[in-house]
Amino acid sequence: MSLKHIAIIMDGNGRWATQRKRPRTFGHQAGVKAVRAVIESCVELNIPHLTLFAFSSENWSRPEKEVKRLMDLFMRSLNKETPELLKQGVKQNFIGDLSRFSDKLQNKMTEVASLQPIQTKLNLTIAVNYGGRWDMLQAARQLARDVKSNLVDEASIDEKRLNDYFSLANKPQVDLLIRTGGEHRISNFLLWQIAYAEIFFDDTLWPDFDGQNLTQIVTEFNRRERRFGQTSQQIKEQKDA
């Protein structure tokens, strides 16, 4: 089965900066380079979908100064990186509760999401003010409203119908989830969409993660047998059929 969708928890920016006795925001700035490298690699590897966890709903609890600088960096990155991404064939999209951002930043995200490259080679989704439980909650609320309004028959609700209400409804389920930085947890990211994902925890701090790291993980992913509840014998018989 081909690799269609990679999701990455980009962790380690702050620790990378601390190791160099620099402010945490220095690490976030350095992390932009890693984002570029991973995007370029996904295009080269013909992977059509990439979702990046850029800012979680829990990150608002960080020091106010750090959050402000993150927002400034986000705006600068959108302005600077978007023209080059379009040239590379990258279509950007944003998921999460965007209402908490400034009007200026919301307008910028709307503008960037409306831009279409001549030939789309990679669908890049950036998760900001996002949480997996928030995603489940907003999906349940919208589905409940549609049932109440008689737009959906309660008896017709199955996994496919529910999936239509999630933030990544128009994207394939995640095949490969990567977390950098050495931590071994999901951190409330894409809880519904990673149900059958292969998970890789990499010790590399995000600013040091590059295309070679990604290629090595993809190579290992391709060696794994994905059974989806079946046995190895069943998978072998299907391949031989």
The residues annotated with a catalytic role in the active site are: 11, 59
DSSP tag of 173: P
| Pick from 153, 209, 152: nearest CA to 180 | 209
Please answer whether residues 210 and 34 qualify as being in contact, where contact means their C-beta atoms are separated by less than 8 angstroms: yes
What distance in Å separates the CA atoms of residue 48 and residue 43, rounded to the nearest whole number? 8
What distance in Å separates the CA atoms of residue 27 and residue 200, rounded to the nearest whole number? 22
β-partners of residue 92 are 124
Side-chain-facing half-sphere of 107: CA atoms under 13 Å? 3
φ/ψ bin of 96: left (φ > 0), alpha (ψ from -120 to 50), beta (otherwise):
left
CA dihedral 64, 70, 71, 77 (to 10 degrees): 170
CA dihedral 58, 38, 102, 17 (to 10 degrees): 60
Q: Token pair 């737009």 is at which residue?
A: 151
CA distances from 39 to 42, 112, 153, 230 (A): 5, 16, 41, 33
